[in-house]
Every structure is written in structure tokens, then in C-alpha cells.
Amino acid sequence: MADDADLNILPLDGLHRRLGARMVAFAGYAMPIQYDGIIAEHLWTRESAGLFDVSHMGQLLVEGDGAADWLESLAPGDFKALQPHRVRYSLLLADDGGILDDLMVTNTGRSFYLVVNGATKAADIAHMQARLPAGISLHHMDDHALLALQGPAAVTVMSRFDLTPETIDQPAFADLKFMAGARWLWNGVPLGITRSGYTGEDGYEISVPAAHAEALAEALLAHAEVKPIGLGARDSLRLEAGLPLYGHDLSPEITPVEADLSFAISKRRKAEGGFPGAARVLDQLFNGAPRKRVGLAVAGRMPAREGASVWKGERQIGVLTSGGFAPSLGAPIAMAMIETDMAADGTAVEIDVRGKRIAATVVPMPFKQKNYVREGEKK
């Protein structure tokens, strides 16, 4: 599949192959799914630092007076209150409140920098362009790569790099906390760095001009704490962290409340509305939704996969949206969309796996504690 001429090629394609990656087709790209094995890569990231190539994701720049107001017409975040160098998780919503994508939004101080999912970026851009008012520009940064350095040793590794701040008003790199970011120069190369990620671990996402991506990746991999990590471990890491994956746990048929992402609706927007599907979403928020995304601890050792049905007695109450083996826990786990009256923690259910019923229990997420370094914490 990875040799299919129709696949897009990442800036680091040659490096992945030299490192022995097994390449697969994903979101229209040839991408590394593993190098040394998914479990080994998963555990290395939890214990040290893993380097992920996420250049398939869409990097967008929104500029112009009124950019925050325009973003608020598309998503339920309070972007007018988002301070410079701060990052916010948000949701691109359809007119009926369904989720078109989830995304990260950074206020750079001069513009808004967005990271959207690779499989949906073309549709996202078309959706935004169709609603773009005069005076606001939307630029697809398709000449940039995106790397993610994740794990407890990420901060140690990055502290060894000689990074020059782009502006005097940005936070010092050593003081950068979770969901904050700015721009630095590394050997004259501009890097957009946020302390964020999608593994549940401390770490950084680094936007770099594609022409310099391989040099940066090799500089990171030169540190003993860092190994390359593929898509397989990225998926198991985010599952343990209870983080939804678009196209699986999120879709246009699912609202923010049903997805258990009500925190992405900012306080002011809960009061004022004004975002797509606000009437439906706020009604579910205040009066309850018919279903909810939950975590499931699965009995035994057999993983239950996406699409398996969830039962309470003789009644189907939902369906698995993600599932697999959790290397950090040594047990299978899953996420499911189930009826709200069955969503309380401790509820015993069953999962139909190829005709065999497997016991499971609704449990809180994340399955494994997140290790982010938030404002005011020392690390």
C-alpha cells in the first residue's frame, strides 16, 4: 500500500524508510505504523521520549481583523479571550451541532494557528473557505512538517537545544507549560512550538519548514532518550489517555455533549450561544443527551474492536468506537457510545465480539493518568 502512486509523500518519508519503518496508507499518505513494534514503542514513549511524524495533519493560519469573531462562528470556543501564546482545544461544528473535526487553536499574538486532522483537512478548508468573510485570510501551511516529541524525557531533550525566542514578549522556553506555545529560531530555522500532544504525556508539537524537517528529526533522534514511534503506538497511547479520534469516536452524527467534550464549549459560549447547532447542543448540555462516550474496562485478554455491539442483557445499548490492548495496563480497553442511562461508572455490560459475549465495565477516563505540566506546576 505504501508504494501506491496515489499516496502523498511526507517530508520525512526517506528517513522513515532508512529507520526501517513499516509503511502503510493513512489519510492519503504513506505513513510509518511501527519501527520496533507497537508495544515496545508505546512503553518507550511512556518511559522516555518518542518522536512522531504527524505532518499529514493540516496546519492553517488565520489572519485579519475579526479573526477571533469568525472562528467563534465556526466553533464553540471563546477565542476572543484566548491570550497570546495560549492554545485551546476546540471543535469545528456543522449547522446541526455535529462534529466536523476537532482541532487545536493557538493565538500567536498576530494570528491564529490551527492544527486539524489529516483525513479531514481538505473538507475543513473547504468548509472554512465557504464561510470566509472579507478581511480574513486562511492559509494552508502545506510547506511545513509537524513533529511531536512526547514522553517524560521530552523536556530534558528540548532543553539541550539552542532556541532563540522570536519576540521579547513570549514566554521563556523553560517556562512553557501545557497548552502554551510560541516561535523560536533553531540554527536560523523558525520553529512553532507548543507544549501539547495527543498521547497523555508531557511533550511538544513542533511546526518546521518541510525543507528543514529531516535535519530537525535527526537532531532529536541523536539523543539517547528519543526513538521514532509509529501510528500504531500513537493510537494505543491516545486510547489509554481517553482521547477521542476523529472518524472513530467523533463524527458529524455526534455532538460535543454526546462525545463527552462539553469542556470544549467555553463558559461564555454556554451562556451566549452563537455557534453552529447551539440550540441543540445547549439543550443536550442542560437537559441531557440520549447517549454518551464512555470508557470500558474489558474482562480477559481479548481486545474488542471498533464496531462491536454493547449489550445490557438482551438489549443493545451502544457500539464500540475504539478498542484495543493497553500496554501500560496489561489489559484490553475500549471506548463506546452508549445510552446515557447505562453510562454511569461501574455499570456492567457485555460486548459482542464475533458472536461471543465478553464482560466489560463502564469506567472513568482517562484509563491512565495524564502527565501534562500545567500552569503553576513544577517539572
Q: How confident is the model over 261-273, as pLDDT tens digits?
A: 999 999 999 999 9
Q: How far is CA 264 from the centre of its chain?
A: 13
Co-location of 186 and 303 in the same domain: no
Q: 146 and 236 in one domain?
A: yes
Quick check: is 28 in a domain? yes
First-to-last alpha carbon distance for the chain, in angstroms, is: 42
Q: Which of 225, 240, 255 is the C-terminal boundary of a domain?
A: 240
Comparing CA positions, the residue from 74, 203, 216 lying closest to residue 144 is 216
Banded model confidence at residue 141, pLDDT cuts 50, 70, 90 = very high
Mean pLDDT score, 310-337 = 98
Q: Taking the model in full, what pTM does it have?
A: 0.96
Residue 2 pLDDT level (bands cut at 50, 70, 90): very low
Q: Among candidates 63, 53, 48, 65, which has minimal Cα distance to 23?
A: 53
CATH number of the domain at 154, please: 3.30.1360.120
165 inside domain: yes
Calpha distance 221→158 (Å, rounded): 11
251 found inside a domain: no
Q: Domain range for residue 309?
A: 290-363
In a domain, 169, yes or no: yes
Distance CA 235, CA 229 (A): 11
- Judge whether 276 lies within some domain: no
Count of domains observed in the chain: 2
Closest CA to 261 of 280, 238, 244: 244
Nearest-CA neighbor of 50 among 164, 120, 152? 152
Helix (H) or strand (E) run with residue 327 in it: none
d(CA 292, CA 308): 16
Quick one: 47 and 187 in the same domain? yes
Instruction: Say if residue 150 is in the same domain as residue 232.
Output: yes
**145-163 tens-digit pLDDT:** 999 999 999 999 999 999 9
The yes-or-no verdict on residue 3 having pLDDT over 70 is: no
Q: Which H helix or E strand runs over 295?
A: strand 291-298
Question: Is the separation of the CB atoms in 31 and 56 below 8 Å?
Answer: yes
Q: Give domain status of residue 253, yes or no.
A: no
- 42 and 190 part of one domain: yes
Say whether 99 sits in a helix, a strand or coil: strand
Is residue 174 situated within a structural domain? yes
Within 8 A by CB and 6+ apart from 5, the residues are none
52 and 146 share a domain?
yes
User: Do 47 and 158 sit in the same domain of this protein?
Assistant: yes
